[in-house]
Amino acid sequence: MSVELTNTAEREADEVVQLYLHQRSGSAARPVRELKGFRRVTLAPGESRVLEFSVGPNERRYWNAAVRDWVTDASTFDVWVGGDSTAPLSTAFEVTEE
């Protein structure tokens, strides 16, 4: 998954870009937004950069106390990217088999 970040200011700026996931269904209830990745970036004035985030099985798995093991469910996942947990930039993807 990738996102393009642009510094629109007239001076150098730092940003911490954060990736959040939500699993819509599965064998246990999941948080509404769970931090799964972040990148700290310094950009010059007017500079743009594409940031890549991995959203593989390791990012989608969670500890399920009922089965006492790590679980990776097939589900639809909502994704948000931004500077904090209220990030408005979003998309979704579906995992059909695990």
Q: Domain spans of the chain?
A: 2-95
Pick the CATH number of 2-95 from 2.60.40.10, 3.10.450.50, 3.30.590.10, 1.10.630.10: 2.60.40.10
Please check whether residue 24 is in contact with residue 75, taking contact to mean a CB–CB distance below 8 angstroms: yes
Locus of tokens 């269904």:
25
The model carries a pTM of 0.89
pLDDT tens for the chain, 98 residues long, are 899 999 999 999 999 999 999 999 988 889 999 999 999 999 999 999 999 999 999 999 999 999 999 999 999 999 999 999 999 899 999 999 86
State the sign of the Cα–Cα–Cα–Cα dihedral 33, 6, 53, 92.
positive
